[in-house]
Amino acid sequence: MDERAIRQKKFIRAAALTGVVLLVGMYIVSIVAALCKSESAKPIFMISMYCTFVVPVIIYVLQLIYKLANKKNEEKK
The pLDDT assigned to 76 comes to: 64
Contact 22, 28 (CB under 8 A): no
- Domain total for the chain? 1
- By CB atoms closer than 10 A (0-12, 13-18, 19+), residue 15 is middle
Integer-rounded Cα Rg, in Å, for the chain is 18
Overall average pLDDT of the 30-42 stretch: 82
Q: How far is CA 14 from CA 3, 39, 42, in A?
A: 16, 35, 31
Residue 68 structural domain:
3-76
What is the overall mean pLDDT for the chain?
83
The pLDDT, as a whole number, for residue 8 is: 80
pLDDT at residue 32, as a whole number: 83
pLDDT band for 48, please (50, 70, 90 cuts).
confident
pLDDT band of residue 3 (cuts 50, 70, 90) is confident
